[in-house]
Amino acid sequence: MNGDVVISTDRLTRRFGPVLALSDVTLDVPRAAIFGLLGPNGSGKSTLIRVLCGVLRPTEGDATVLDLNIRTQFEEIKRRIGYMSQRFSLYGDLSVRENIRFYARVYGLSSQRQDEREQAVMTLSGVGAYVDRLAGTLSGGWKQRLALACSLIHEPELLFLDEPTAGIDPVARRDLWDLLFALTHQGVTMFVTTHYMDEAERCTKVGYIDKGRLLVLGTPQALKASPQVTPSGTLRYEVACADPPAALARSRSVPAIRDATLFGITLHLLVEEGLSELQLLERIAPGDTTVSLRRIAPTLEDVFVTLSRAQGMEAA
Amino acid sequence: MRGFWGILLKEFSHIRRDRATVFFTFMVPVLQLTIFGFAIDVTIDNIPLTVLDLDGRQESRRFVEAMAATRTFQVVERPTDAESFRRALTSGRAKVGVLIPAEYSERLLRREEAQVQVLIDGSDSQVATTALNTVNLLTTQLAFGRARVMAESMQLAAARNMEGEAAMPIEARARLLYNPDLQSSHFFVPGLIAIILQLVLLFLTNLSIVRERELGTLEQLFVTPVGRAALLFGKLTPYALMAFGELLIVLVAMSAIFGVPIHGDLGLLLLLSSMFIVTVLGMGLLISTLARTQLEAIQFAFLVMLPSVFLSGFMFPRSEMPVAIRAISYVIPATYFVEILRGLILRGADFIDLSPQVAGLAACGAVVLWLSVTRFHKQLD
């Protein structure tokens, strides 16, 4: 019993026939945190959420959610969590109000509390202006707000959001995140999957999952500072030059350059300290007069790329 | 039963907004009633007949007139040469050809055996059988008529009737019960109730669940504390009610439009219909647990519908089926319900008469419901 830990998993494994969708996933999520789970498509993000929500049984391992066991107490868990899936999973042929009311009834709210909560989630999500619109006619951002409103109707302590911002515009994306922050201030814990690095940066704790294995786990700050990401004796640089793809190709043949990635019109390099800045520029962009470079801290993307490569080598 | 009302009311909202469902539910019975009640008439008459009469005298004309008088046949051609006679049959203009030889009248007068050749197009077995039976019966009657006249004059009748005239030694006095006019609508329409209910219910329930699975809303529901029973009953009850309304419409149409009276107990009819409705809901649920997409659901539903239409005895009598096929018909719920409907509506059968069918339907229903409810989990696989 730990009042500060909301989700705790112990070597959670799930197989679909021969496919290992989750492999020995061990993590915990503190109360009122925003936990961000990242990973490529098909890496096991949705499977993990489904197992934690009690709609998929784990093959091996165990987990508690809100101090309830996911194997035996899943129906109790469902009463206290909210879930917003990847796809728009509301009823397009029902109005905004009908959708919200439907979930209020499904969660068995008393009629007085139903009115209270309907008002509260409509105000919070801002969908109140569209009460009589059919949900199917809302724009992507508003659909997600409605989905959020529905998942909050029973005041869950823990909210699972499976790619809540996939396919919505940047403004709607920022608005949704502001809403999520507002909720964590009320003590709600968030478990969010995403593809966006900027969203991951806003999380209090992040994990990176690939092929069912949790490769990285920690706060964004701790991960960026980790010696595995920027080993001692190496430095990170951002290089702006006339022909970045050519520079990338050249950097591959320099042994002192441990890693090189194209980042928009610039190049991110992980370089051994022994190589001076002048030597570095000579090697990758000879004769380029416009070239410039600056030292940078690793981004979360650097963290994930470096650590999953390292894991990949270990596995090989 | 937490969430039952939520699901139920939501389902009604879907139905209200989905004009296609409402159309499908209430137009399909109307269409089917029209087709089976009016268009399909399996009593065979007016079979086109071609006659090549090489005799052409009174006796041969009498034979042809007798054939036309049965109304089973209609003389469409009277060719004068063998080639046209043959053509009429090969072209399909006539299904039956009668060839009366030139010496027909003479042979009858000489009290010799006269022969008439009857050619029947066997392609459609039902038409051919009817034609064959009618021709046999007709010639027997004509032959006996001549024999009776002879017997009368020679005082040698095999049997005599009350008036002392020569008569058939044995006479079968057949009386048609329950459907004295042999109207095919009387036979088809009661059975059609089973088919309509099954068709509409099977598609609606199964699609309403599979649609939610496809849209992802079912997964969303699995994450809520809604009970399995509430989810199932909430989703299926609206369709059960619609089916019951449909049943009443069909029953009213049956007696008002087709004049098929309900001879049995209406209460028992509604009760047993409800039992069938519940069984079909179970079948719909079972299919929905097997199908991943709406397309698959439709294919599965057709797979179930076809044997129900063709093997349940609705279209073809089960007694004519090969043993293996007949064995299959025992596991089709519609088989029992079609017999129950015909028994109750046409023959005025009561519960005791129908107890074997009721038991069969109950057994099918129990198995289907048990299978579907155990297969339907609030889980993803």
CATH number for A29 = 3.40.50.300
- DSSP for chain A, please give it: --TTEEEEEEEEEEEETTEEEEEEEEEEEETT-EEEEE--TTSSHHHHHHHHHTSS--SEEEEEETTEETTT-HHHHHHHEEEE-SS--S-TTSBHHHHHHHHHHHTT--HHHHHHHHHHHHHHHSGGGGTTSBGGGS-HHHHHHHHHHHHTTT--SEEEEESTTTT--HHHHHHHHHHHHHHHHTT-EEEEEES-HHHHHTSSEEEEEETTEEEEEE-HHHHHH-TTTS-TTEEEEEEE-S-HHHHHHHHTT-TTEEEEEEETTEEEEEEETTS-HHHHHHHHSTT-SS-EEEE-PPPHHHHHHHHHHHHHHHH-
Question: Nearest residue of B to residue A101 by CA position?
Answer: B6
Q: Give yes or no: residues A159 and A253 share one domain.
A: no
Q: Report if residue B186 sits inside a domain.
A: yes
Q: Report if residue B175 sits inside a domain.
A: no
What band does B379 get if pLDDT is binned at 50, 70 and 90? Answer: confident
Residue A263, domain CATH: 3.30.70.100
Q: Which positions in chain A touch B379 (Cβ < 8 Å)?
A: 55-57
Q: Give yes or no: residues A215 and A235 share one domain.
A: no
- Domain carrying residue A208: 5-219
Q: Give yes or no: residues A74 and A14 share one domain.
A: yes
* Residue where one domain finishes, among candidates B100, B135, B167: B167
For B291-302, what is the mean pLDDT? Answer: 92
Q: Looking at the predicted structure, is the pLDDT value of residue B56 above 80?
A: yes
Q: Which positions in chain A touch B13 (Cβ < 8 Å)?
A: 91, 93-94, 98
Q: Give yes or no: residues A149 and A249 share one domain.
A: no
Q: Which of A66, A95, A100, A105 to mutate to test the interface with B (most CBs of B within 10 A)?
A: A105
Q: Looking at the predicted structure, is the pLDDT value of residue B36 above 80?
A: no
Q: Report if residue A311 sits inside a domain.
A: no
Domains in chain B: how many in total?
2
What band does A135 get if pLDDT is binned at 50, 70 and 90? Answer: very high
- Give the pLDDT of residue A237: 92
Q: What are phi and psi of B129, to 5 degrees?
A: -60, -45
Q: Give yes or no: residues B70 and B162 share one domain.
A: yes
Lowest-confidence pick of A292-301, B5-14, B26-35, B147-156: B147-156
Q: Report if residue B177 sits inside a domain.
A: no
Which structure tokens are listed for A26?
Answer: 């061990």
Q: Looking at the predicted structure, is the pLDDT value of residue A156 above 70?
A: yes
Q: Report if residue A241 sits inside a domain.
A: yes
Domains in chain A: how many in total?
2
User: Does B165 or B80 have the greater pLDDT score?
Assistant: B80
- Give the pLDDT of residue A81: 95
Q: Looking at the predicted structure, is the pLDDT value of residue B374 above 80?
A: yes
Strands, E assignment, B58-207 = 73-77, 96-100, 117-120, 159-160, 166-167
* pLDDT tens-digit map of B183-203: 777 888 889 899 999 998 999
* pLDDT tens-digit map of B304-314: 999 999 999 88
Q: Give yes or no: residues B70 and B209 share one domain.
A: no
Q: Give yes or no: residues B132 and B229 share one domain.
A: no
Q: Give yes or no: residues A271 and A201 share one domain.
A: no
For A182-201, what is the mean pLDDT? Answer: 91
User: Does B224 or B158 have the greater pLDDT score?
Assistant: B224
Q: Give yes or no: residues B203 and B124 share one domain.
A: no
- Give the pLDDT of residue B297: 93
Q: Report if residue B126 sits inside a domain.
A: yes
Q: Which positions in chain B touch A91 (Cβ < 8 Å)?
A: 10, 13-14, 217
For A178-204, what is the mean pLDDT? Answer: 91
Q: Give yes or no: residues A167 and A265 share one domain.
A: no
Q: Give yes or no: residues A187 and A245 share one domain.
A: no
Contact B226 A106 (CB under 8 A): yes
- Give the pLDDT of residue A302: 83
Q: Give yes or no: residues B156 and B250 share one domain.
A: no
Q: Report if residue A306 sits inside a domain.
A: no
Lowest-confidence pick of A266-275, B23-32, B240-249: B23-32
Q: Which positions in chain A touch B2 (Cβ < 8 Å)?
A: 106, 108
User: Nearest-5° angle of CA B353, CA B317, CA B47?
Assistant: 130
Q: Looking at the predicted structure, is the pLDDT value of residue B267 above 90?
A: yes
- Domain carrying residue B241: 4-40+182-375
- Give the pLDDT of residue B42: 67
Q: What is the DSSP letter of B181?
A: T
Residue B115, domain CATH: 3.40.1710.10
Q: Are A120 and A100 in contact (CB under 8 A)?
A: no
SS3 B216: coil
Residues of A near B (Cβ–Cβ under 8 Å) read 50, 53-57, 75, 78-79, 81, 83, 85-91, 93-94, 98, 101-108
Contact A89 B219 (CB under 8 A): yes
* Residue where one domain finishes, among candidates B143, B167, B191: B167
Contact A108 B3 (CB under 8 A): yes
Contacts of B123 (CB under 8 A, 6+ apart): none
Give CA separation, A141 vs A122, B55, B66, in Å: 15, 92, 83
Q: Report if residue A275 sits inside a domain.
A: yes
- Give the pLDDT of residue A56: 92
Contact B13 A98 (CB under 8 A): yes
Q: Give yes or no: residues A196 and A237 share one domain.
A: no
Q: Give yes or no: residues B245 and B297 share one domain.
A: yes
Of the segments A199-213, B255-269, B354-368, which one has the largest average pLDDT value? B354-368
Rounded to the nearest angstrom, the minimum Cα separation between B13 and chain A is: 7
- Give the pLDDT of residue B126: 82
- Give the pLDDT of residue B381: 64
Q: Which positions in chain B touch A104 (Cβ < 8 Å)?
A: 6
- Give the pLDDT of residue A1: 44
- Give the pLDDT of residue B22: 83
For A117-132, what is the mean pLDDT? Answer: 92
Gyration radius of chain B's alpha carbons: 29
Q: What is the pTM of this model?
A: 0.79
Rounded to the nearest angstrom, the minimum Cα separation between A107 and chain B is: 6
Q: Report if residue A57 sits inside a domain.
A: yes
Q: Give yes or no: residues A105 and A193 share one domain.
A: yes
- Give the pLDDT of residue A2: 54
- Give the pLDDT of residue B172: 77
Q: Are B364 and B331 in contact (CB under 8 A)?
A: yes
Contact A105 B224 (CB under 8 A): no
Q: Give yes or no: residues B236 and B309 share one domain.
A: yes
Q: Which positions in chain B touch A88 (Cβ < 8 Å)?
A: 216
Q: Which of B224, B231, B376, B381 to mutate to test the interface with A (most CBs of A within 10 A)?
A: B224
- Give the pLDDT of residue A3: 63
- Judged on CB neighbours under 10 Å (0-12, 13-18, 19+), A297 is exposed
Q: Are A178 and A126 in contact (CB under 8 A)?
A: no
Compute how many other C-beta atoms are within 10 angstroms of the C-beta atom of residue B11.
Answer: 17
Q: Give yes or no: residues A207 and A91 share one domain.
A: yes
d(Cα B375, Cα B289) in Å, to the nearest integer? 7
* Residue where one domain finishes, among candidates B139, B167, B195: B167
Q: Report if residue B78 sits inside a domain.
A: yes
Q: Quick one: what percent of chain A has pLDDT higher than 90?
A: 55
Closest CA to A192 of A226, A148, A225: A148
* Residue where one domain finishes, among candidates A193, A219, A245: A219
Phi-psi region of A54 (alpha: psi -120 to 50; beta: other; left: phi over 0): left
d(Cα B209, Cα B243) in Å, to the nearest integer? 17
d(Cα B229, Cα B357) in Å, to the nearest integer? 29
d(Cα B91, Cα B88) in Å, to the nearest integer? 5
Q: Report if residue A290 sits inside a domain.
A: yes
Average pLDDT taken over every residue of chain A? 90
Q: Give yes or no: residues A206 and A240 share one domain.
A: no
Q: Give yes or no: residues B322 and B364 share one domain.
A: yes
Q: Give yes or no: residues B137 and B203 share one domain.
A: no
Q: Give yes or no: residues B295 and B346 share one domain.
A: yes
Q: Looking at the predicted structure, is the pLDDT value of residue A134 above 70?
A: yes
Contact A75 B7 (CB under 8 A): no
Q: Measured between CB atoms, which of B2, B7, B216 is closest to A89?
A: B216
Q: Report if residue A52 sits inside a domain.
A: yes
Q: Looking at the predicted structure, is the pLDDT value of residue A31 above 70?
A: yes
Closest CA to B337 of B205, B192, B202: B192
What amino acid occupies position B152?
E
Q: Report if residue B358 sits inside a domain.
A: yes
Rounded to the nearest angstrom, the minimum Cα separation between A84 and chain B is: 8
Q: Give yes or no: residues A112 and A139 share one domain.
A: yes
Q: Measured between CB atoms, which of A78, A87, A105 is closest to B216?
A: A87
Q: Quick one: what percent of chain B has pLDDT higher than 70?
A: 98
Residues of B near A (Cβ–Cβ under 8 Å) read 2-3, 5-7, 9-10, 13-14, 17-18, 215-217, 219-226, 378-380
What band does B143 get if pLDDT is binned at 50, 70 and 90? Answer: confident
Q: Report if residue B110 sits inside a domain.
A: yes
User: Does B303 or B258 have the greater pLDDT score?
Assistant: B303
Give CA separation, A62 vs A22, A191, B210, in Å: 12, 18, 31
Q: Give yes or no: residues B145 and B186 share one domain.
A: no
Q: Which of A22, A48, A55 to mutate to test the interface with B (most CBs of B within 10 A)?
A: A55
- Give the pLDDT of residue B21: 81
Q: Report if residue B28 sits inside a domain.
A: yes
- Give the pLDDT of residue B163: 76
Q: Which residues face A201 on adjacent strands?
A: none
List strands edge to edge, sheet with B47-53.
Answer: B73-77, B47-53, B96-100, B117-120
Q: Report if residue A316 sits inside a domain.
A: no
Q: Give yes or no: residues B9 and B151 share one domain.
A: no
